[in-house]
A = this chain, B = another copy of it.
Amino acid sequence: MKYSVGIDIGKTKINFILLRNWRFVKGQKVFTPRSRKQIIRTIEDNVKNIINNIPKRDILGIGLGIPSPLNKKGDLVLNPPNLRSLKNCPLAKIIEKDLKIKTRMENDVNCFTLAEAVLGAGKKEEIVLGITLGSGIGGGIVINNEIYRGAFGSAGEVGHMTIKADGYKCSCGNQGCFEEYASEKFFKRKSKLLPEEIERKAKKGDRKSKKIYEEFGQNLGIGLTNLINILDPNVIVIGGSIAKAGSLIINPAKKEVKKRVLSPQSRKSVKIKVAKLGEFSGAVGAALLLK
C-alpha cells in the first residue's frame, strides 16, 4: 500500500485528501487561518490526523497546492495575492522538516490541471489545458501527465492575456485582460446578483440572465480560441466556481471556438469539458505530485 497526502491551500479554506495507490480514500476541509505560523500549524495537525495509523514507510509524501506563482525550482512561494502571509515562504521545506515526510509544492491551478489530466476529464489525453474560472482566471498546462512550467516557472498565466487592448482596466495594470471578461469580474459589472443567482434565473428562463451567461460564454470562447491557436491542446478542462454553470457557459464558448479557431483540424477535434473531480481536485493534483 502506498499513501500520499494532497493539500490545496485556498484563500478561505484548506482541503486535505488522502490517496491510497492513487485512489481517493478520504477528504477533509478547514478554514484558512491568517498568519503563516497558524497556517503551518493547521497543515501539520491535519496531516497527522489524516495519516493517523499509517506506518511512515507506506507514505510517499505530501503535496501542496499553492495559490501563487512559485520560483522555477518550485521550493519558494513567491507572491500569493490572496495569502500575503506566505510571501517568500519555503513552505514545503518547513513541513518536510517538521513532519519528516517528503513534501512537494506546486501552483494550485497546475495541481487542478494535473488531477484532471491524470484522473479526470482529461484522462488519456496528451495535451491538457486546465482553466479555472473564479474571482480571476487561472491556467495550467499538462503534457503527457507532466506539468509544463515554462522557463521561469510561470507558464499558463492565461487570465492576463489581453483580448481587448482598449477594454476595461485590470488590477494588473493592463487593459482588456481575459479575466475582465470571463470571471466573476464580468458578473459584477453586469449585475448586482451573485453568479449563482443569475445562473438560477437563467435556468428558469429569465431572458436577461440568459443573455449575461451567453455573453460570458462568448468572451470565454474568444480567450479559449487564442489558447487553441497557440497551444493546440487535445482537451480544455474548465473548472472553478463558475464552471458549475455547465452548458450555460460551455455551449456559447464552444460555438465561438468553432467559428474562430484557425486550423480546421483543431477546430473540429479539440474537446472542451467541465472538470470532473469536484472541489477536491486541487488537493488530488497536489497528491499526484508524489507520483
Binding site for B on A (CB under 8 A): 69, 71-72, 78-79, 125-127, 139, 149-158, 160-167, 172-174, 176, 222, 225-227, 229-234, 259-260, 262-266, 269-270
| Copy count, this protein chain | 2
Contacts of A265 in B (CB 8 A): 69, 71-72, 78, 152-154
Cβ of A230: which chain B residues have Cβ within 8 Å of it? 139, 155-158, 161, 227, 230-231
Flag if B150 contacts A266 (CB, 8 Å).
yes
Q: How distant is the Cα of A72 from the Cα of B260 in the complex, in angstroms?
A: 20
Indicate if the CB atoms of B160 and A163 lie closer than 8 Å: no
Chain B residue at minimum C-beta to C-beta distance from A174: B260
Partner of A166, one of B155, B164, B172: B164
Which residue among A151, A155, A269 has the maximum number of chain B CB atoms within 10 Å of its CB? A151
Expressed in whole angstroms, the Cα–Cα distance for A173 and B227 within the complex equals 17
Given contacts A72-B265, A231-B230, is CB(A151)–CB(B176) below 8 Å? no
List B contacts of A165 (CB < 8 A).
Answer: 163-164, 167, 176, 222
Closest chain-B Cβ to A108's Cβ sits at a distance in Å of 15
Q: Assuming A263-B69, A263-B157, is B150 touching A232 (CB within 8 A)?
A: yes
